Structure 1
Amino acid sequence: MLHLIRNLDATRYAPMILVVAKTDTTSVRRVKAYPHNLPFDRDTVPTYFIPRSREVGQSYWTSILTTLYSFWFAFWLVGAQIQPDVILVNGPGTCLPIALSAFFFRIMGWKASKTIFVESFCRVSSLSLTGKLLFPVTDLFVVCWEELERKFPSTHLVTSFIPKRS
């Protein structure tokens, strides 16, 4: 995600806000240690922590309850606290409730946040579960591989971080 946002125009996309899973022990440290410039001050960027929908290894059945709990937080964050104009997401545990909350508020006519989902670079021939769930509700769905773009023609192919063979 840091590679995706590092070249954003801070005057156009301000203020930037980070949302991190409560159990994520590395993301905030990675932001602070990132070796390139970022379009926000690392020490003062507002950071919100929400519960994950599903922890690694958690059963699908128990994840129903944790997902509902996560949705409650995301609903409040997106609808009342932040009310973002653009939401850029790329991961499962935190982004699903955030993106679906934004979609809910859009269809209710409350706030029309634009949502951009960037599928994982490792998804070459099929979408992730999160991608499958968010595909119909995002404004822009970004894939990294031509095979996925062929399977899902309404996606946007971004290959700028894939080295081309000569």
Structure 2
Amino acid sequence: MESWLSWTSLFLAIGITAIACIFTLIVLIYALAKSQNSQVPKWRPRNSPVHLLVVLGSGGHTAEMFSMLRRMNLDPSKYTHRTYIVSSGDNFSATKAVEFETTHINHHVNSNAKTASPEPSYTIVTVPRARRVHQSYLTAPFSTLNSFWSCLSVLRGLYPDQSRHSRPASHLSPPYPDLILTNGPATAVCVIVAARLLRLWLFLCGLFSPSAPGRRTSESDSATVPVPGTYQLRTIFVESWARVTTLSLSGKLLLPLTDRFLVQWPALAGKKAWPGMKETEYVGTLMD
């Protein structure tokens, strides 16, 4: 009799666990599909600041990224705060970020003094590497989790490097970046997954709690104020110019997660993670 009860309890526990897992999977798939098809509101508050977060790799990735930023003629009066994420030990990328800010951005400010932001600012944040060169695959998951947690803290504005360069509270509330731009270093996987999870959290809060973050508090507010989180944490992945016929490993991992996936060669146009998902967009060469 006791043996029968123990088996019944075991099967009941397995059944409850299976139902919980299936429900969680359905919610995740629905939220992912919903966000893939959601439109970013065209309307933003007048003169509202835009927080741009740029994920820098090392060597070629960094060179390509700043080449793209120079070509797009980044306007500091629109992108009033810029955060650069670099991996620990990557002094090259941090140096290039400082050079870009002190040359290109300052030149733009001086040539457009009447329209430039009065207090252009930037922050360089150093996070742990997801995986070091020649690191054992046995310890890599732990370093990746450490990097992921740091990236999650950066997106929430709670990382120590950000507290030393804090911005006025009026600049952004909640403190999520509006736009995340990356071209494929390993840290980008942690950043974009963290952004997706934060957006999933806002989505679930909006479903189950009318007063939670990301919801309008009244009908009058809904006509004039956009929902926080619906236009933040948007991600753009730019595949490396060196990728002509196949996507990079980071690209393959992030294809179903990014809002826009830009490629620079025609052979990579129209690729999907699976049916129903957004396609890669061929935009031509983006570097100067």
TM-score (normalizing by structure 2): 0.50
Query: 1:79 Cα deviation (Å)?
Result: 2.5
Tell whether the 8 Å contact from 1:54 to 1:67 is kept in structure 2 after alignment: yes
Per chain length, whose mean CA-contact separation is higher, i.e. which structure has more relative contact order (CA < 8 Å, sep 6+)?
2
Tell whether the 8 Å contact from 1:79 to 1:102 is kept in structure 2 after alignment: no
Task: List gaps (5 residues or longer) in structure 1.
Answer: none
Tell whether the 8 Å contact from 2:270 to 2:281 is kept in structure 1 after alignment: no
Task: List gaps (5 residues or longer) in structure 2.
Answer: 1-64, 110-120, 159-174, 203-212, 214-228, 273-277
Separation (CA, whole Å) in 2 of partners of 1:47 and 1:57: 26
Separation (CA, whole Å) in 2 of partners of 1:5 and 1:120: 14
State the partner residue of 1:158.
Answer: 283
State the partner residue of 2:190.
Answer: 97
Query: 1:143 Cα deviation (Å)?
Result: 0.9
State the partner residue of 1:116.
Answer: 236
Tell whether the 8 Å contact from 2:241 to 2:285 is kept in structure 1 after alignment: no
SS at match of 1:136: coil
Partner amino acid, structure 2, of 1:74: C
Separation (CA, whole Å) in 1 of partners of 2:154 and 2:235: 15
**Residues 114-139 of structure 1, C-alpha deviations (whole Å, 9 max, x = no match):** 00011111111111111111110111
SS at match of 2:180: strand
Asked whether 1:11 is paired with 2:104, we answer no
Structure 1 residues 151 and 140, CA gap change in structure 2 (3 angstroms)? closer
2:105 to 38, 57, 64: 38
State the partner residue of 1:135.
Answer: 255
State the partner residue of 1:70.
Answer: 147
Query: 1:157 Cα deviation (Å)?
Result: 1.4
User: Percent same amino acid among aligned pairs?
Assistant: 35
- CA RMSD after TM alignment: 2.7
Separation (CA, whole Å) in 2 of partners of 1:62 and 1:92: 19
Count of residues in correspondence between the two structures: 162
**Residues 18-64 of structure 1, C-alpha deviations (whole Å, 9 max, x = no match):** 111112121122234459613789xx621110011112332333211
State the partner residue of 1:55.
Answer: 132
State the partner residue of 1:107.
Answer: 200
Structure 1 residues 8 and 162, CA gap change in structure 2 (3 angstroms)? closer
Query: 1:5 Cα deviation (Å)?
Result: 1.8
State the partner residue of 1:25.
Answer: 91
Worse-superposed segment, 79-88 or 67-76: 79-88
Runs ≥4 residues deviating over 6 A: none
Separation (CA, whole Å) in 1 of partners of 2:242 and 2:133: 17
SS at match of 1:74: helix
Separation (CA, whole Å) in 1 of partners of 2:154 and 2:88: 14
Separation (CA, whole Å) in 2 of partners of 1:31 and 1:18: 7
TM-score (normalizing by structure 1): 0.84
Separation (CA, whole Å) in 2 of partners of 1:162 and 1:37: 15
Name the structure where helix makes up a greater proportion of residues.
Answer: 2
Structure 1 residues 84 and 33, CA gap change in structure 2 (3 angstroms)? closer
Tell whether the 8 Å contact from 1:79 to 1:101 is kept in structure 2 after alignment: no
Tell which structure's C-alpha radius of gyration is larger: 2
